[in-house]
Amino acid sequence: MTDSTKDRVYIFDTTLRDGEQSPGATMTHAEKLEIAQLLDEMGVDIIEAGFPIASEGDFRAVSEIAKRSQDAVICGLARANLKDIDRCWEAVKHARQPRIHTFIGTSPLHRAIPNLTQDEMAERIHETVTHARNLCDNVQWSPMDATRTESDYLRRVVEIAIKAGATTVNIPDTVGYTAPVESADLIRRLIAEVPGADEIIFATHCHNDLGMATANSLAAVEGGARQIECTINGLGERAGNTALEEVVMAMKVRGDIMPYQTGIDTTKIMNISRRVATVSGFAVQFNKAIVGKNAFAHESGIHQDGMLKNAETFEIMRPADVGLAETNIVMGKHSGRAALRSKLKDLGYELAENQLNDVFVRFKELADRKKEVYDEDLIALATTDAAEDENRLVIKSLRVVCGTEGPQSAALTLLIDGAEHSTEATGDGPVDASFNAVKALFPHEARLQLYQVHAVTEGTDAQATVSVRMEEGGRIVTGQSADTDTVVASAKAYVHALSRLIVRREKAGKDTPEVSYKDVS
């Protein structure tokens, strides 16, 4: 590694690949393009855009992201076979800076899956990395489950990959098994003992099964790794991946003991965190580091007193450092479109004219119902709008009857592809009655996997943000909506998910997975 890159840590974001594999986190084509653009603008060095051979939809998304990329390297994932690698190259070759990332499981447990001996696997690694390098100058290789691979064999296969042309070698802690001292020592030993290791970049990819993903990633950097693989909000399978915002801010705040730098514009963190939470349907926990709702909140009297005297007493970073607005109540029913545009821009949202017009209409409706409109209210308005091509079902009117004496009932008028349909239904509570009414007008077999409600702000007039996740025939969709009426928000989120399901049904023939896979790294 050259002196000029010693202290530069590259950020490899896999939100669109490993993050999307979290059950229920599937994103639409348009959402993937949007998130990729936000990542590029934020300064992410490498964007792993997807698994091109997994489906035609994934291939199209990776290809389009590659064509639109500005500064980031665009990477696709491929298993250790020539067909996967060729398909990956076809998708990423359009990028200004393409990368092929190929992998194979090297631990005893993973070698048993394809039933390969150590020698057979070593031969396949040489063949596939060589093939990838013949297609692309930028090749990354990963020994999946590296932290549970025998030390001697790991050194052997890393050397093979380097000699075959890998320019980056990623050492994944696939199941979140390792600990910081082991993570640092593993990277340190590979760099010291493997011929050619000083000529390539070592990466770390940690999962959070034991809650140590961030610590393990930073320890690997201390050991010599210069690329961290991570996701926004730590999204990912099981307990998730290393959170981008955590490692980036840790290195920024504690530069005294971690003298490394990244190219990330940290003021864009909150915006992309909120957007990923919205499109994935995975809300950020309130006490999540950096991006949680309570990350910069202070309720204790001692803490509040200290904050009033000197913010540094209880805050090691400023809210503005991560793009969090420090003001609250400024908008009301007399505010105009220009003020709304300016306020949304301050909050990190630059909307197209038609988007702004739609948000402005809903803002005025909200301002008529609420005494005070908070930043969080505006964020909810800006992030819960469904894409136009997914508005196949629209609630025209909903009236519910509820109370201590049942049955609870809902009278619903629903627009289905523009045609008006009405019905009444009962249920175990107003939300159940509303869902039953929707199902009566639009029969389906989708199973409700998640129904989640949280208040955007305080007070009885607070907006409720509702997330709904549904599954039908292996297709998982999410819907979100916000309203001061929790039942209305619930019904709208339910209908939003069903609208997406219609689109998925129609695309099923074109977007059927070509292979079944379960990830990696």
H/E run at residue 206: strand 201-206
| Number of C-beta neighbours around residue 185 at 10 A | 15
* Strand pairing report for 475-483 and 464-472: antiparallel
Instruction: For residue 207, say whether it is annotated as part of any ligand binding site.
Output: yes
Instruction: For residue 444, say whether it is annotated as part of any ligand binding site.
Output: no
In CATH, what number does 388-507 get? 3.30.160.270
Distance from C-alpha of 448 to C-alpha of 437, rounded to nearest angstrom = 15
The answer to whether residues 425 and 409 touch, using CB atoms and an 8 Å cutoff, is yes
The token duo for 383 is 């992030």
**Residue-by-residue pLDDT tens, the chain, 521 positions:** 444 445 999 999 999 999 887 766 778 898 999 999 999 999 999 999 999 999 998 999 999 999 999 999 999 999 999 999 999 999 999 999 999 999 999 999 999 999 999 999 999 999 999 999 999 999 999 999 999 999 999 999 999 999 999 999 999 999 999 999 999 999 999 999 999 999 999 999 999 999 999 999 999 999 999 999 999 999 999 999 999 999 999 999 999 999 999 999 999 999 899 899 888 888 888 889 999 878 876 444 444 445 445 555 657 888 888 887 664 445 777 788 888 888 888 777 778 888 888 888 888 888 887 767 877 788 778 876 544 445 789 999 999 998 887 789 999 999 998 899 999 999 999 999 999 999 999 999 999 998 989 888 777 778 888 989 888 887 888 888 888 899 999 999 999 999 888 887 777 655 444 443 344 44
Instruction: For residue 421, say whether it is annotated as part of any ligand binding site.
Output: no
- Tell me the CB-side half-sphere exposure of residue 315, using CA atoms within 13 A: 21
Instruction: For residue 328, say whether it is annotated as part of any ligand binding site.
Output: no
Pick the CATH number of 8-280 from 3.20.20.70, 3.40.109.10, 3.20.80.10, 3.40.50.300: 3.20.20.70
Residue 384: the pLDDT is 66
Q: Domain spans of the chain?
A: 8-280, 325-383, 388-507
Residue 376: the pLDDT is 75
Q: Give the distance from CA 11 to its chain's centroid.
A: 15
The answer to whether residues 17 and 232 touch, using CB atoms and an 8 Å cutoff, is no
Q: Where are the beta strands (DSSP E) in 456-506?
A: 464-472, 475-483
Distance from C-alpha of 445 to C-alpha of 439, rounded to nearest angstrom = 9
